[in-house]
Amino acid sequence: MIARTYSATLLGVNAVEVEIESSEAPSLQFRMTIVGLPDAAVKESRDRVISAMRASSFYFPFTGSLTVNLAPADLKKEGPGFDLPIALSIIAPREGLEVERLAQCSVIGELALNGELRPVRGVLATALEARARGRKQLIVPKRVAAEASVVDGIEIIGVDNLRQAVEFLRGAEPIAPEPSRAAEFFAAHGTYGLDFSEVKGQQDAKRAIEVSVAGGHNLLMIGPPGTGKSMLAKRIPTIMPGMSEDEAIETTKIHSAGGLLGETCSFIATRPFRSPHHTISDAGLLGGGTNPGPGEVSLAHNGVLFLDELPEFRRSTLEVMRQPLEDGKVTISRAVGSITFPASFMLVAAMNPCNCGFYGDLKRECRCGPASIQKYRSRISGPLLDRIDLHVEVPAVEYKTLSSNEYSEDSASIRQRVEKARSIQRERFAKEKGIHTNSAMTPRLIRKHCELDSECAGLLEQAMTNNNFSARAHDRILKVARTLADLDDSERICGNNILEAINYRTLDRALWN
């Protein structure tokens, strides 16, 4: 008799359903074979399953040939999550588990040698795939049941061990489905412990950050050490619009695929803020490995990727970011195929103006020569700079400002303006697939929504000539100007919008030329 159970394997951040079949045949010597492109972790399921079944008092044959097939055969199966479905496919005919009952369920979980269940990656993606396939229930380790509970339309059954899973399928031990906890997660985790009111001064930088968030633009902050660049960057998520349920599920899927969720944080309801060290490898930033996993650009999806000390990153590492900055996704190719990870993030970078950090500081003397300064800045390529829409200077703050008790605008007030501008953009791009903010406008949409009068066109032409801006910089100036007009609740771009947008591009020309 052939018994079937259903599970899933991760392909990028999404899950693909896998059918597990087990069949016994007479043989003088016991042999258990797992076929269907299993990786090392799946092949090792053999020993874990045998030990767990015996520890749970389930009969396991000492003779005979047992074949376990994972279908489709051309899809590589990865991870220890197949332990539980393999064990259930072997146990089903012996314990009289109904075929119809098994067909309604999807199963995932790693077995310990004593039969207990351990957490696995990708439970949320598995729940979404099981629901799409019409499964009624998903059986998972109890410790990760909360992660899958945010998916409506499928019952999440959390079990502690192999024996409990079998008794549930037999009907001898009813288990209540895990209650949906999406609202609870949003209430508990949808807030931040930081606020812009804690930052003294830096009004120009705050304005640039507001514009960046309102239009989804990338931002570069340049200034001496200790002026608050990192402090400002860490507070950017606090003025971003709240995450929708779809965004939260997508973000949680990515972190689950990367194995970054724990029992205390099984759902991500706040905008991610990722700040990798400058020694990070290309694979760490973009993703990769033998079994490709998400990198920092994907873990920052729907949030902020902060690169502090930008020139300290290897140039090759920075250059590989050009694709995700343009496309909002990362494609990793391997011999077995290509995997695409979402990577739509807001890039925020910070850097010193020179090696010592004090070039242009009125109070501290710069010790760097012209050649040293130029070499330091040349670590960042022109094409990468062109992809950063706003460049803003963050100077040292006066003591009088630091010691002042004067009110500083809080994040909630800034977020209101940002959300108003975003609502205008949602309405503008309602019929455009995959475009939600001004920063994502295509050339066709720029021509449609960034029409200039003769005065504005003259200002832009003069700036293009004087600063030797590229064609990409031209388009990005128009996108930023469109965002500035949205913040002003204006249908048309005015001269002040163009001038401010140009100003956000001239600082890098003054520093790099």
In 3-state terms, what secondary structure has residue 150?
Answer: coil
The CA-atom distances, in angstroms, between 219 and each of 392, 420, 436 are 8, 20, 18
Q: Please count the other Cβ atoms lying within 10 Å of the Cβ belonging to residue 193.
A: 5
The percent of residues in the chain predicted with pLDDT above 90, rounded, is: 59
CA pseudo-torsion sign 145, 148, 149, 153? negative
Terminal CA-to-CA distance of the chain, rounded, Å?
A: 76
Long-range contacts (CB closer than 8 Å, 24 or more residues apart) made by 139-142 = 139/84, 139/105, 139/106, 139/107, 139/108, 139/109, 139/165, 139/168, 139/169, 140/107, 140/108, 140/109, 141/109, 141/110, 141/117, 142/117
pTM over 0.75: yes
Is the pLDDT confidence value at 513 over 70? Answer: no
Given a cut of 80, whether residue 262 has pLDDT beyond it is no
Per DSSP bridges, beta strands 293-294 and 304-307 are unpaired
Average pLDDT over residues 475-498: 95
Task: Provide the pLDDT confidence category of residue 407 given band limits of 50, 70 and 90.
Answer: confident
The two tokens of residue 256 are 């689950």
CB proximity list for 161: less than 8 A, separation 6 or greater: 56, 115, 116, 117
Q: What pLDDT digit, counting tens, does each position of 52-106 carry?
A: 999 999 877 667 788 999 999 988 888 899 999 999 999 998 888 888 899 999 9
Taking a C-beta distance cutoff of 8 angstroms, is the pair 322, 384 a contact?
yes
Domain spanning 3-180, CATH architecture: 2-Layer Sandwich (3.30)
Domain 192-406 in CATH: superfamily?
P-loop containing nucleotide triphosphate hydrolases (3.40.50.300)
pLDDT of residue 189: 58
Cα three-residue angle 268-271-276, rounded to 5 degrees: 100
Q: What is the pLDDT of residue 404?
A: 79
Chain CA centroid to CA 153, Å: 24
Please give the Cα distance from 497 to 481 (Å, whole number).
5
The pLDDT assigned to 41 comes to: 80
For residue 113, count other CB atoms closer than 10 A to its CB: 13
Higher pLDDT, 172 or 477: 477
User: What are the boundaries of each domain within the chain?
Assistant: 3-180, 192-406
Q: What are phi and psi of 33, to 5 degrees?
A: -125, 135
Asked if the model's pLDDT at residue 512 lies above 60, the reply is: no
